Amino acid sequence: MTSPPPPDPEPFRAEVREWCRTHVPTGWRDAQTGVSDEEFVSFQKQWFGELREAGYAVPHWPLAWGGGLSVGEQIVLYQELAAHDAPRLVLAFVAIHHAASTLLAAGTDEQRARHLPAILDGEIWVQGFSEPDAGSDLASLRTAARREGDAYVVNGQKLWASGAKYAGWCLLLARTDPGAPKRHGISYFLLDMRSQGVEVRPIRQATGESHFSEIFLNDVEIPATHLIGPENGGWQVAQATLSAERGMTMLELAERLGHAGFTWLLDACRRPNAEGLRPIDDSLVLDRLAGFETEIAGLRAMCRSLAVRHETGHVGPADASVVKLYYSELLQRMTNFGADVAGLAGSTRIIKPMSSGWESGAWVLDFIGSWEWTIPGGTSEIQRTIIAERALQMPRA
């Protein structure tokens, strides 16, 4: 018995295209360059609200929680948002992907009822995983949580927490059994960032931004009802969070790299340099551009395939790692090439739009930012190990 053909995506595409024409803010890149934190947060929440009202903010969520778009519709949505150069949901990213996937996979009914509607109302989340001595080797984390009555008392430090200075809630991993093997003594908590004993220290980067922060936890009490999954079972729960970071989020990012990223790269190559020559007239540059276009086509196809297999339950144990590795290293190669083409003049551009992604056209900053993808969420080396062991069944070193 043959399966029915997939529904025609063109009516939905026409709907999204018309919505983008009337709702994507005109001139938002200029308006979001050099703005204050307050203006950035206000813009992000307003844009999230518009997407939510249209039903486009959380298309990957179940219908009961405000999502329900098919994989085909999600692909169309991200294609059109990218094609119309819509702002990214930078502040909502952890909330709508990582927090939501964790709550839906392992949260209680009460936890889902408390947080999923709040996320739709603009609740901002941060991920509290990495530590000074536990980055790629996340299982070596030392932040400790001990049970005292109806709460856990937490002490420790988290590092490289993206957007922590804006966040109201945190996905927190802490060690609850120091005597257990390192992957078996970790628990997963929902931390209210307004709790007494929580201190956030923004990290000023060489670019002048403070995208990352340190989080210090000093006798912070977390109610036992904020435990996600079983005590000491946090490592398994964390895989839902990490699979979201490595998997379905790539669908949007691949489309943005294929539209804005490649468009900015073409523009840079068509712009005359100090000698009045256009890089695009060089056959070697044309060859590189053709290579990038081919790689982007492959990335987009891989992401669509992953999304379809995710919906049907046929995702391989390392499929998300393959996509994450491919995207992050392609992004790095493209932004590095953009910085080369821009030359010395490109190095003088030291600010970029706050609500853009990693393909803003400020090439040096974009290249620096690309390392956010080859390091966090599991370095490229970690991804290759996962692929070798879980997909290729190679023996552990």
The residues annotated as belonging to the active site are 245
DSSP code, position 2? P
What is the β-pairing status of strands 169-175 and 125-128? parallel
Q: For residues 248 and 197, what is the distance between their CA atoms, to the nearest angstrom?
A: 34
Residue 27: exposure state from Cβ atoms within 10 A (0-12, 13-18, ≥19): exposed
Residues 378, 379, 383, 386, CA torsion sign: negative
- For residue 366 the two structure tokens come to 């974009």
Tokens 């974009």 correspond to: 366
**2, HSE (Cβ side, Cα atoms, 13 Å):** 3
- For residue 312 the two structure tokens come to 């049907």
Length of the chain: 397
Tokens 């929902």 correspond to: 190
